Structures are given as C-alpha cells and as structure tokens.
Amino acid sequence: MTRVDVEMVIAIDGPAASGKGTLARRLALHYGLPHLDTGLLYRAVALALIDADRDLADAAAAEDAARSLRAESLGDTRLRERAMGEAASVVSAIPAVRAALLDWQRRFAAAPGGAVLDGRDIGTVVCPDAPVKLFITASPEERAQRRYRELGGRGEPVTFEAVLADIVRRDARDADRAAAPLRIADDAVVIDTTDLDADGAFRAATAVVDTRRRVGN
C-alpha cells in the first residue's frame, strides 16, 4: 500500500458500469484513503422511498429521505440489485435530493489526508478543486456486457438486451438532467476502459495520480 503524504482527493466520475467503482476501491486501498461510492447514497434514497411505498418522482418525499439518510443504511445488500440502479437514476435527477446529499459528500472528502469518491458529478460539483480528477468510460456495449456478467453471477434473471437498454436509458437521463448532469470536468483525465482490464485501468489511473502528486509537491 502506498500512503499519500499530502492531502489528496481523487474524484472519479463516469457512466454506469464503466469500471469506476472497482477502480476507486483499488485506488483507495493502494493509497490508504477512505472511499465513498456516492451512487450508494442515491440508491439508498430510492430504496427508502420504495420501502415506504412512495413514488420515486415525489420530490418532497425524496428530499426527506435524503436528509434522513444514515450511514448504516448503505450496507443494505438490496442496494446492489439491478432495479436499484434504475431507481437511483430517477431520484438523482431531483435537484433537492442532490442538494441534500452534497454536504455529506463534501464532509467525507474533507477527511484528513484525503479521500477517493466516485460518482457522476464529483469532479464538477462535489469536489471541483480536487487535485486529481478522472473520468472513466467505455462503450455502452462493453459496459452492458460487464453488468450482464455481474448480474448473472448474482443469479439475477436478465438478458443482455435489457441490460443494454438500461445502460442507454441511464446515460441519457444522467446527461440530460438539469441538476449536475454527467459531464467531463475541464481538467479531468479521461480513461477509456473499453479495451482495458482492471489491471490496465489501475496502471493508467495510478500514473495520473502519481504525476499529480509530484506536481503538487
């Protein structure tokens, strides 16, 4: 494990199933930093609404759920289910929900020594001053194939075509929403993982982080 010697916030953005979560966890372990999968926050809000039998598009109820969110709820195994990804995409488009969760994410990023956060708007909204910004992407077909294998491995009955349709739909929703749309920060380094395995993506990312650390020092 390589520990950072200065405060280092690594902001990682990208579309669904691009590999950013796996990469973020590995970078956090490598550099000895805490990690936050911010997508879990939105999945937890969606799950709270579903459990309360509320409409996902109910902005007031969604805001209340976001403001009442507790860290322990992020461990619910249901958050990893395919349906929660689609539901999270719906509630994440509600400006009041994003505002309610913004302070949570920024407090996490302010941890002594730094932190690794991955999501859709980390480098553009949550941590615009982060010294390291990565945008992880891949073709829709490759991302759908990865998600299809992941869901199949968990025993969820799904077809590749359905997963691809979900990916395309979520991409459009994330890019077109009024609040914090998915986009590449001006100073982010783009890593396309379409033809990279996990080790290749990790090597590319650590090269960027280490370069930024040398420049920062």
Which residues participate in the annotated binding site?
A: 14-22
Annotated binding residues for ATP, written as ranges, equal 14-22
Q: How far apart are CA 114 and CA 8, in angstroms?
A: 4
Say if residues 135 and 185 touch (Cβ distance below 8 Å).
Answer: yes
HEC sequence for 17-84: CCCHHHHHHHHHHHHCCCEEECHHHHHHHHHHHHHCCCCCCCHHHHHHHHHCCCHHHHHCHHHHCHHH
